[in-house]
Each structure stands twice: as C-alpha cells, then as structure tokens.
C-alpha cells in the first residue's frame, strides 16, 4: 500500500522500469512527481 508521497513516486518509478522505460530519461524524469500531484491535487 502506498502511504506517503515518496512511496507513490517510488511506485511510479518501479512501474516505468517494469514496462521497460528508463524513469531517468528526459521526458520521464518528472513523471513520478506529476503522477503524485495528479492524485494529491
């Protein structure tokens, strides 16, 4: 279960990695933060 904002960002990074994406590449590096903000807006 995702309990903190940091946990949510880590989960999104893991998801990106699992689908074969590089979460650190340009265009994806801020995706975990964007997803977190979407759910905590």
**pTM across the whole model:** 0.85
Query: Within 13 Å of residue 6, how many CA atoms lie on the same side as its CB?
Result: 0
Range of the domain at 18: 5-39
What 8-state DSSP symbol labels residue 19? T
pLDDT above 90 (res 40)? no
| Total domain count, the chain | 1
Output the six-digit token pair for 10: 């880590």
pLDDT at site 41: 61
Distance between CA atoms of 22 and 32, rounded to whole angstroms?
A: 12
C-alpha triplet 25, 14, 28: angle, nearest 5°: 25
Distance between CA atoms of 28 and 6, rounded to whole angstroms?
A: 17
For 7-35, write each residue's pLDDT tens digit: 999 999 999 999 999 999 999 999 999 99
């Amino acid at each position: 279960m995702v309990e903190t904002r940091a946990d949510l960002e880590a989960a999104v990074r893991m998801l990106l990695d699992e689908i074969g994406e590089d979460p650190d590449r340009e265009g994806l590096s801020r995706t975990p933060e964007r997803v977190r903000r979407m759910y905590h807006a």
